[in-house]
């Protein structure tokens, strides 16, 4: 926890320094959110703040909470139903070859992901019902494209995260909670990802 706090403080100091160093008239700060359809369904809520370091570089902080399902209701796929939420917090670097928040970009980030989810295998006796409570620390990389119109932009990207997940998984197949079995989790985690962002750029 101390390391996480130290990291957040260090990045905050870098953000403050970058704002102070930005030349007048240069785009210094960008704020973005995920498309509002995700808010209304309860499926996903995400927010981003990015600070330009120079014409082509920025530091970005992102927070997101999204459902372990599609849409706002529990999702049933085949013989399983999915519920719960996943939360992300990431800090990273963006590079825009054209100019800040315009055109192609690459992003490299440090990600913390928390899972509090359940999978109920209603008709599959061979697989247990699982409640997962884990944390993942991972490296994440995206490639993206930003369409910018004056101070408004839309961005879309895809990427991968790879890290190490720790925590617990509980077999909740029994109706009697006293019979639930909890086991420790310690494993690598590889995930494909994508995002959509709507945002605004604010001049210094």
The pLDDT tens digits of the residues spanning 125-177 come to 556 688 999 999 999 999 999 999 999 999 999 999 999 999 999 988 777 77
Percent of residues, the chain, with pLDDT higher than 90: 55
Q: What integer is the mean pLDDT of 87-114? A: 95
Residue 20 in contact with residue 28, Cβ under 8 Å?
A: no
Residue 42 in contact with residue 66, Cβ under 8 Å?
A: no
| The most confident of 33-37, 77-81, 167-171, by mean pLDDT | 167-171
**Gap between the Cα atoms of 137 and 139, Å rounded:** 7
The pLDDT tens digits of the residues spanning 167-192 come to 999 988 777 777 888 999 999 999 99
| pTM, two decimal places | 0.78
Strand boundaries in the chain, DSSP class E? 27-33, 44-52, 57-67, 75-77, 80-95, 103-121, 130-149, 152-171, 181-203
Residues in the chain: 204
Q: Which tokens go with 172? A: 């909740």
**Gap between the Cα atoms of 201 and 45, Å rounded:** 20
The candidate with the shortest Cα–Cα distance to 94, out of 58, 143, 53, is 58
Residue with tokens 């100091």: 13
Cα 97 from chain centroid?
A: 24
């Amino acid at each position: 926890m101390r390391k996480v706090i130290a990291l957040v403080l260090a990045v905050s100091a870098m953000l403050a320094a970058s704002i102070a160093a930005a030349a007048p008239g240069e785009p210094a700060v960008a704020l973005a959110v995920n498309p509002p359809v995700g808010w209304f369904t309860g499926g996903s809520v995400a927010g981003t703040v990015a600070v330009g370091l120079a014409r082509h570089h920025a530091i970005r902080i992102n927070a997101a909470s999204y459902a372990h399902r599609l849409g706002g209701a529990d999702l049933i796929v085949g013989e399983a139903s999915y519920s719960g939420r996943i939360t992300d917090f990431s800090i990273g670097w963006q590079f825009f070859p054209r100019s800040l928040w315009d055109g192609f970009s690459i992003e490299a980030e440090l990600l913390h992901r928390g899972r509090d989810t359940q999978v109920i295998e209603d008709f599959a006796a061979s697989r247990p019902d699982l409640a997962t409570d884990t944390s993942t620390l991972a490296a994440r990389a995206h490639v993206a494209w930003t369409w910018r119109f004056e101070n408004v932009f839309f961005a879309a990207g895809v990427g991968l995260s790879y890290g190490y997940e720790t925590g617990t998984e509980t077999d909740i197949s029994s109706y009697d909670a006293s019979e639930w079995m909890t086991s420790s989790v310690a494993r690598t985690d590889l995930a494909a990802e994508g995002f959509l962002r709507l945002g605004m750029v604010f001049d210094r």
